[in-house]
Amino acid sequence: MLSTQAGAARRTLKSLLLSALLVSPMAMAAYPDKPIQLIVPWAAGGGSDAAARGIAAALEKELGVTINVVNRAGGNGVVGHSVMATAKPDGYTLGFITGELNMMHWQGLTKLTYKDYTPIAMTNYDYPGVQVAADAPYNSVGELLETIRNEPKGTIKASGTGLGGIWHVAFAGLLLEQGIDPQKITFVPSQGAAPAMVELAAGSIQLVPTSVPEARSMIDAGKAKGLAILSPERNPAFPDIPTLKESLGSDYSLGEWRGIAGPKNLSPEIAATLEAALEKAYKSDMYQDYMHKLGFGAEWRNTADFNVFLEENNTYMGGIIEKIGMKK
């Protein structure tokens, strides 16, 4: 009797375990099953914010969940990048990492590097333009550079990002390439391109080296003009602005990259899901039309290529920052 009962109990337990094994994969919700937060380390209204919102909207369509863009500006990008790095690696807090990640640690602002994240894909790369007031006496970037070269230090005041931000470093690198002391200009820190363009129109500063799309409203309003773009080719959205090659015969170029990453130790399965969805979002007409309309550069690198790029770019930026005297 007891043997019969024990056998029945064993069969019942075996049946329950089998049922659990069969049911549990279905009971576990597939990622993602709730809204995702995308941290942007810069203020709303700037280039990083616009590029992040473009890819977030397209990615929503692929993943089928809401993606909330959250701006966490401050510390020249340190605050937002820190929030991303310390988030729970569950795939529900992602970051829109930017070029400053490969600059901040060289400047002694943080110990964070690209190794503190799980890079997923690069979706954007933008080159800076050289913008001056519409009534400025310079009709070419060459004329502006000669003024910087020959006039007393501080004659030209520039802005467009924080001190040591990508647009500051990119223009300082150009001055260095042209044999001009980067200290000849006075760089005024700002919270981004938008407030800097307002100051440019008001006459408080004379130069804003920022991406041309971020300067577009002031250019369209006739309050600013673009002298050149630091890219290998002209931007199709701004066909009248020449490249440095056309203006100076210079091959120098440097811009801002942006991409999606998760915190360190994000599971390979979640990372793979995000990479596949991001590639579809990137290739979608929705994203491509959005970026083209605004004049932003769409550039794709998958996870493997993004990791290689980050390593190479980190070394390159360290060299530039050292040359312009900002390495700590």
CATH number at residue 207: 3.40.190.10
Quick one: pLDDT at residue 116?
Answer: 98
Domain region containing 287: 34-125+254-322
Give the DSSP per-residue string, 136-194.
Answer: -S-SSHHHHHHHHHHSPTTSSEE-SSSTTSHHHHHHHHHHHHTT--GGGSEEPP-S-HH
Q: Among 246, 276, 294, give the residue marking a domain's end.
A: 246
Quick one: pLDDT at residue 1?
Answer: 47
Are 51 and 115 contained in the same domain? yes
Are 60 and 119 contained in the same domain? yes
Are 91 and 131 contained in the same domain? no
Give tens-digit pLDDT for 276-293: 999 999 999 999 999 999
Q: Nearest-CA neighbor of 166 among 73, 79, 98? A: 98
CATH code, 285:
3.40.190.150
Mean pLDDT of 72-84: 94
Q: Among 190, 224, 246, give the residue marking a domain's end.
A: 246
Mean pLDDT of 209-230: 95
Residue 46's pLDDT band, with cuts at 50, 70 and 90, is confident
Q: Among 213, 246, 279, give the residue marking a domain's end.
A: 246
Work out how many domains the chain is built from and give that number.
2
Are 310 and 148 in contact by the 8 Å Cβ rule? The answer is no
CA distances in angstroms from 308 to 15, 132, 315, listed in the order given: 50, 36, 11
Phi, psi of 163 (to 5 degrees): -60, 125
Give tens-digit pLDDT for 159-179: 998 889 999 999 999 999 999
Q: Which amino acid is at 308?
A: V
Are 294 and 304 contained in the same domain? yes
DSSP strand E in the chain: where? 36-40, 67-71, 93-98, 117-126, 129-133, 157-158, 186-187, 224-229, 256-263, 298-301
Quick one: pLDDT at residue 124?
Answer: 98
Quick one: pLDDT at residue 22?
Answer: 47
Residue 13 covered by a domain: no
Q: Which residue has the tokens 């060289």?
A: 106
Mean pLDDT of 250-277: 97
Q: Nearest-CA neighbor of 138 among 125, 122, 151? A: 151
Model pTM? 0.86
Are 56 and 203 contained in the same domain? no
Does residue 68 sit in helix, strand or coil? strand
